[in-house]
Amino acid sequence: MSKPQKDEARISPTGDVIADRIHDVACWERPTIVTRNGLTNEVYRNDCGIGASALAQVLYVSLRPGAISAWHMHRAQTDHIFCVLGAIKLVIFDERADSPSRGVVEVRLLSPARAQLVVIPPGLWHGLANLDCARDAAFINGFDRVYAHADPDEYRLPSDSAQIPYSFHLSAG
């Protein structure tokens, strides 16, 4: 019989998530505004102090139940990710040679219930997974440059790549 292990703190007294963070990844958390006819969230403002001062392209992306979209990296493009439906796990890995957080894996759980815009600068591997096995999840992704059809700034690894010390397939957290 194994001995129970006490959980480490995961949330600070002010509600901040306690976790490893990657240098240059920024998060703009906004309260959900309850109105008489629904909910409202600010997704992006050019004066919020993080990310691009102007977005060049915005996508709406839907993930099927249990879907994993990993791994992606851009050499020039900055992503601005905002979950609009369901619950999504966003995992970021820093492989940049000159980064003070080289080798760090950052895991963020995204949901409209705690609205946040996550800004991922160039050079970071990232992947997303729909945490729900019964319903779609969706996010908005804004870019600081348009997609170049003739020369895409898209680099990919399989979701189970040994190059990244994280497994979507084995992780529960």
User: Domain for residue 7, yes or no?
Assistant: no
Nearest-CA neighbor of 42 among 25, 60, 29? 29
Give pLDDT tens digits for 11-63: 788 777 777 789 999 899 888 889 999 888 888 888 888 888 889 999 999 99
Q: Contact at 8 Å (CB) between 127 and 157?
A: no
User: Domain for residue 6, yes or no?
Assistant: no
Contacting residues for 79 by C-beta, under 8 A, at least 6 apart: 119, 120, 126, 141, 142, 143
User: Domain for residue 31, yes or no?
Assistant: yes
User: Domain for residue 5, yes or no?
Assistant: no
- Find the range with the poorest average confidence among 5-9, 38-42, 97-101, 130-134: 5-9
User: Domain for residue 149, yes or no?
Assistant: yes
Q: How many residues does the chain have?
A: 173
Task: Please give the pLDDT value at position 132.
Answer: 94
Q: Contact at 8 Å (CB) between 19 and 90?
A: no
Residue 86 has pLDDT above 60, yes or no: yes
Q: How far apart are CA 105 and CA 22, in angstroms?
A: 7
- Find the range with the poorest average confidence among 1-5, 139-143, 151-155, 160-164: 1-5
Contacting residues for 75 by C-beta, under 8 A, at least 6 apart: 122, 123, 153, 155
What's the structural domain count of the chain? Answer: 1
pTM of the model as a whole: 0.87
User: Domain for residue 117, yes or no?
Assistant: yes
Q: Contact at 8 Å (CB) between 63 and 141?
A: no
User: Domain for residue 76, yes or no?
Assistant: yes
What range does the domain containing 80 cover?
26-156
- Find the range with the poorest average confidence among 25-34, 106-115, 124-133, 144-153: 25-34
Contacting residues for 137 by C-beta, under 8 A, at least 6 apart: 62, 63, 83, 85, 86, 87, 88, 130, 131
- Find the range with the poorest average confidence among 28-32, 141-145, 152-156, 158-162: 28-32
Q: How far apart are CA 142 and CA 164, in angstroms?
A: 25
Q: Is 114 helix (H, G, I), strand (E, B) or coil?
A: helix
Could you tell me the pLDDT band of residue 170, with boundaries at 50, 70 and 90? low
CATH number for the domain that contains residue 76: 2.60.120.10
Residue 171 has pLDDT above 60, yes or no: no
Task: Please give the pLDDT value at position 46.
Answer: 87
DSSP string, 124-151: EEEEEEE--SSS-EEEEEEESS---TTS
Q: Contact at 8 Å (CB) between 31 and 115?
A: yes
Q: What is the mean pLDDT of the chain?
A: 92
User: Domain for residue 16, yes or no?
Assistant: no
Residue 7 has pLDDT above 80, yes or no: yes
